Amino acid sequence: MPQNEVIEGLGLDEYKYGFVDEEQHVFRTRPGLDEEIVRQISAQKEEPEWMLEFRLKALKIYESKPMPTWGGDLSELEDTLDQIYFYVRPSERMGTSWDEVPENIKRTYERLGIPEAEQKVLAGLGAQYESEMVYHSLKEEWEAQGVIFDSIEDGLRKHPELFRKYFATVVPPGDNKFAALNSAVWSGGSFVYIPPGVELDTPLQAYFRVNQERMGQFERTLIIADENSRAHYIEGCTAPVYSTESFHSGVIEIVVLPGAHFRYTTIQNWSNNMYNLVTQRALVHRGAAMEWLDGNLGSKLTMKYPSCYLVGEGAHGSILSIAYAGDGQHQDTGGKVVHAAPNTSSTIVSKSISKGHGRSSYRGLCKVYEGAVNSRSNVECDALLINETSRTDTYPYIEIEEKRASVGHEATVSKVGDEQLFYLMSRGMSEEEAMALIVRGFIEPIAKELPLEYAVELNKLIELEMEGSVG
C-alpha cells in the first residue's frame, strides 16, 4: 500500500480516566509535551534505559508526522494538545465529589439501574471495591495456571524479557502519529500473558483489575496468547464513562501465537467531549484466530479500526463492529484485515446507527498479498439512519494481489421503515418503543456475541438513546 497512513488507525481503547481533582495528584507534568516531560514520565516510573530511549525516539516521530487529514475533523485537536497534561499520576483515592458529576450522566446511571458504588467507579470517583473478592478468587485461579494479568507498568517491571520481546512489535511507533504519541507518553493499561494450552472460561475483565495506577488517556495494552491457548478479554463497559479529559489515545497490541484463539471485546462509551483515537492491532500466527468485538457509543470523535494481520498459514481474523452516532458525534470506525499467508480467512461485520446530526463512517481495508493463496474475506456493512439530518459514509479499501483469493464487500443503507413502525404500533407499542425494538433488532447480531450483562446494558442504553428520536 503506497500510503499506509491513510488507513492506519486500528485501535481500541476505552478506559475510564478518573475524574480527578487536580490539586490532589501526587505528581503531574506541566501542560504540553517536550523531551523533558517524556524524561519525567520515564523517571517517575523508574523505567529501564531502553524504554526511555524508545519513548524519546517515538516523540521525534510524533513531532515529524503531520496531523491526519482524513477521517474525522481534527482541526481543533492541535490546540487541545498544547494544553493537556501528558502525565498525571493519580493518587490512590479519587478526590472528586459526586456532586460534580453532570446530571445527565447520573440520570443515565440511575435509569440503567447501576448500583451506586459502580456509578462512582464509572464517574472516576473510586475503585471497584465491591468486586475485589470476586476478582481475587479469579486471580488466584489464573495465577495457578501461569496466567499473567497485570498493569502494563508491572508487566515491564516483573517480566522484562517477555515484555521486551513483544512490546511495539505489533504497532511500531512509526505506524501513525497517534501511535507515536502513545509510544512517547504511555501510561496505564494491561499486560496479559496466557501460557501455552491454557483455556480460560471466565473473561479477563480490565474492569476488575485493581491497579495502583489507574488507566489513563495514553493507555497501552500488550497481550500475548501463547500456543493453543484460548481466552477472552473485556475492556470498558456500556454505561457512559464520564471524564474531564478531552483526548484519549491508546495502543493495544495482541500477539496470537500458533493455534491460539483470542477474543478482545471493547465497548466504548466516553462522554461526548472526547477525541478518542486508538490503534489496536493483532498479529495472528499459524492456525490461530483473533476476534475483535468493538462497540463505539460515546465520544465526540472516535477513529478506531481494529486490525488483524494474518501472518501464519490458516490464520483467521474476525471483526464485529457496532457504532452509534448521536447528535454532534462522529464515529469513524471499521476494521482492517491483511492477508499475508496462504489459506487465511477473515470477516468484517459492521453495523452503524446515526441519529439526529450524528455521523457514522465505516472505513476499512482488506488486503491480500501475492502468495496468500486461497485467502477468503467477506465484509458486510449495514447503516441505519434515524433522522433526515443523520449521515453515514462507507469507505472500504480492497487491494488484491493474489489470483487464488476471494474477496467480497457489501454495504446497505436504510432508514427505519414506516411499515415496520406501523406494524409494531398496531400491536400496541408506542412509536418510541417500536423504534427502540427495531434498532435492537438491527444490532442483535452483535449484541448476542456480548456477555449477557453487557448485552442487557447495551439494550437498555439503546432504549434510552431512542427516546425523543421520533415525532
Partner 1 sequence: MTEASVIETSAPAEGVTETLNREAVERAAAQEPTWLAERRAHAWDVYERTPLPSTKLEEWRYTDVRRLLDLDALTPAPRPEAGTGEALLEGLDGLPAGLRAVMAEDREAAGHVAIVDGCVRHVDLSDELARQGIVLTSLARAVQLHPELLEEHLATHAVPPEEGKFQALNAALWADGVFLYVPAGASLDLPVRVSRWLSGGGLAVFSRTLIVAEAGARVSFVDEIVSDDLDAQSLESSVVEVIARDGAQVQYVSLQRLGHRAFYQAAQRTLAGRDATLDTLNVSLGASVARVDLNARLLGPGANSDMLGLYFGDGDQHFDHNTSQDHEAPNAHSDLLYKGALDGHAHAVFRGIIRVHEGAQGTDAYQTNRNLILSEHARADSLPNLEIEADDVRCSHGATVGQLDQETLFYLMSRGIPQQPAERLVVMGFLGEVLSRLPLGGVVDKVTRAIEVKLRHG
Q: Which of 113, 115, 328, 408 binds partner 1 (CB under 8 A)?
A: 408
- Please, what is the minimum distance in Å from the beta carbon of residue 426 to partner 1? 21
Query: Can you say how many angstroms the Cα of residue 434 is from the centroid of all Cα atoms in its chain?
Result: 30
- Please, what is the minimum distance in Å from the beta carbon of residue 352 to partner 1? 11
Q: Which of 47, 150, 313, 393 binds partner 1 (CB under 8 A)?
A: 393
The letter for the amino acid at 79 is D
Which residue, 413 or 421, has its beta carbon nearer to partner 1?
Answer: 413
Query: Dmax over Cα atoms in the chain, in whole Å?
Result: 69
Burial class (CB in 10 A: 0-12, 13-18, 19+), 468: exposed
Under rule CB under 8 A, residue 470 binds partner 1: no
What residue has cell string 440503567? 112
Q: Which of 405, 424, 434, 439 binds partner 1 (CB under 8 A)?
A: 405
Which residue, 145 or 406, has its beta carbon nearer to partner 1?
Answer: 406
Point out which span in 119-127, 160-168, 319-327, 386-394 binds partner 1 (CB under 8 A).
Answer: 386-394
Under rule CB under 8 A, residue 135 binds partner 1: no
- Please, what is the minimum distance in Å from the beta carbon of residue 207 to partner 1? 36
Under rule CB under 8 A, residue 404 binds partner 1: yes
Q: Under a CB-based contact definition with an 8 Å cutoff, are residues 241 and 211 in contact? A: no
Q: Under a CB-based contact definition with an 8 Å cutoff, are residues 207 and 237 in contact? A: yes
Under rule CB under 8 A, residue 327 binds partner 1: no
Number of residues that bind partner 1 (CB under 8 A): 38
Taking Cα atoms as reference points, which of 307, 241, 304, 235 lies closest to residue 264?
235
What residue has cell string 493499561? 189
CA torsion through residues 59, 64, 67, 68, sign? negative
Under rule CB under 8 A, residue 208 binds partner 1: no
Under rule CB under 8 A, residue 130 binds partner 1: no
x/- string (CB under 8 A) for partner 1, residues 40-79? ------------------------------x---------
277: which residues sit within 8 A by CB, 6+ positions away? 9, 11, 178, 247, 248, 249, 301, 302, 303, 304
Q: Which of 34, 73, 401, 444 binds partner 1 (CB under 8 A)?
A: 401
Under rule CB under 8 A, residue 428 binds partner 1: no
x/- string (CB under 8 A) for partner 1, residues 340-379? ----------------------------x-x---------
Q: Which of 39, 395, 432, 438 binds partner 1 (CB under 8 A)?
A: 395
Which residue, 3 or 75, has its beta carbon nearer to partner 1?
Answer: 3
- Cα–Cα distance, 435 to 418 (Å, whole number): 10
Under rule CB under 8 A, residue 383 binds partner 1: yes
Scan residues 68-127 and list those touching partner 1 (CB under 8 A).
70
Which residue, 290 or 379, has its beta carbon nearer to partner 1?
Answer: 379
- Cα–Cα distance, 308 to 326 (Å, whole number): 28
Under rule CB under 8 A, residue 392 binds partner 1: yes
Which residue, 271 or 390, has its beta carbon nearer to partner 1?
Answer: 390
Burial 127-164 (b: 16+ CB within 10 A, else e): bbeebeeebeebbeebeeeebbbbbbbbbbbebeebbe
- Cα–Cα distance, 150 to 109 (Å, whole number): 29
Point out which span in 166-174, 195-203, 229-237, 395-403 binds partner 1 (CB under 8 A).
Answer: 395-403
Q: Which of 23, 78, 99, 388 binds partner 1 (CB under 8 A)?
A: 388
Q: Under a CB-based contact definition with an 8 Å cutoff, are residues 138 and 208 in contact? A: yes
Burial class (CB in 10 A: 0-12, 13-18, 19+), 211: middle
Tell me the backbone φ, ψ of residue 383, rounded to 5 degrees: -125, 135
Q: Which residues bind partner 1 (CB under 8 A)?
A: 2-3, 6, 70, 368, 370, 383, 385-415
